[in-house]
Amino acid sequence: MNFYKAFSLASLTLSFVLNINAQVSNKTSKQVENPNIVIIFMDDMGYGDLSLNGAIDYKTPNIDSMANEGMVFTNFYAAQAVCSASRAGLLTGCYPNRVGIHGALRPNSKVGLNQNENTIAEVVKENGYATAIFGKWHLGDAEEFLPLQHGFDEFFGLPYSNDMWPVDYAGNPKEDAKYPPLPLILNNKANTYVKTLEDQAQLTTLYTNKAVEFIQKNKNNPFLLYLPHSMPHVPIAVSSKFKGKSKQGLYGDLMMEIDWSVGEVLKALKENGLEENTLVIFTSDNGPWLNYGNHAGSTGGLREGKGTSWEGGQREPCLMKWPNIIEKGSLTNNIASTIDLLPTIAEITKGSLPKHKIDGVSLLPLLKGDVKANPRNHMFYYYGKNNLEAVRKDNWKLVFPHTHRSYENNLPGNNGFPGKVEKIQVKEMKLYNLRRDPGERYNVISLYPEVVNEIKELAELAREDLGDNLTNRNGKNNREPGQVK
């Protein structure tokens, strides 16, 4: 039995049973009183990768429908511009350096998300929510760090990035590979292994089927569904039903398949009578890995990409849909971040906030249409282990001296092979007006000294609290990651 059939046969059987059960069940009062939460989280998707943001030669109608039926965030930020750190911020409501997670954790990592940290899953479980993650975890692959130890009832997916496998860029096995076989984990144990690009091409479908089954199974109970797709992180792959469907090559095909996945989730909610009582959130972990050329996404004109604190690395599309709560076709230019999702969801589900310090703020007033609401007027751009590289306040962004990767002025790669990346040094502070100059091209630091001083004061507060390696500062409130026992 092949890779896909091993899961799809069981899925079809379970789906049939669940559909029958759903038809004879009525919604419980608990389901009505407690809104469901769905978080769809992309991997390395750019600001310009949706048709509503200008993508060309393919369409994303299901994702676009969330904009028509909900709220578009134009200034939404990942917690940090790289995989593990970004996910730590999403799930804990903290800047990643507060919880000791940075970079992209490797296979057999000796660290992971500390079990003392409270995740969104743990926040909602206290009120009886079923919880599941189907997709990429990337917060430690030792069993003690896996999702079931962090509040999730179910896990099916990869423990880390899909490029951390013993296969080369052309899809051929490596004899001298530094990575072990790539496991596809069911709950706490490897169930099978992803060995080929053809296997990778089934991941989006497998995750989507699991998500739909989970929705059907929990029709009468409140739930949190976390769907962190492995795509469009390289190596990109798409199932046969979408291959060749776009005019934008494999990447366009892949985005069409992701859009299909979103549509399947939205359809499952509607068919099970849950659409009106579910908050659906769609966003991404960081910007595109631009040196992969036609296998990478678009920043939509924002500067640089993944792994940088420039806007193309950290500003992401974000759509939220919640009928009768979020006004249809609404848009906000307010600053918001993935670290704000935990306190927002805690307020919505009447869950308790973690006792230790978090950095997120509730966006609920904004979602409810309060025109005076401004939950967040600033944010910190940390990168690396603990480098404070920039601070945004309102429409202003102050960039501090630092060294960063740069994709500019280099020929990108092609067809799955990477191009060159350089290291560039920012030698002096720079100030940008992101309302007038979202591409961060015009340094206006000499014109607004009072703005610079205001933001520098915020930076000092961050350094006192969280530290800053660039200025050799130790923070007072950083916590340790989990360590393999």
Q: Which residues are catalytic?
A: 83, 138
Phi, psi of 390 (to 5 degrees): -165, 160
Order of strands, edge to edge, in the sheet holding 278-284? 189-194, 182-186, 154-157, 130-134, 223-228, 36-42, 278-284, 315-321, 71-77, 330-337
Rounded distance between C-alpha atoms, residue 162 and residue 159, angstroms: 9
3-state helix, strand, coil in the chain (%, to 5): 35, 20, 45
Return the number of other C-beta atoms located less than 10 Å from residue 373's C-beta: 15
> In the block, which residue shows the tokens 């972990």?
285
Rounded distance between C-alpha atoms, residue 359 and residue 451, angstroms: 23
Contact 424, 403 (CB under 8 A): yes
Rounded distance between C-alpha atoms, residue 439 and residue 302, angstroms: 5
In the 8-state DSSP scheme, what is residue 52? G
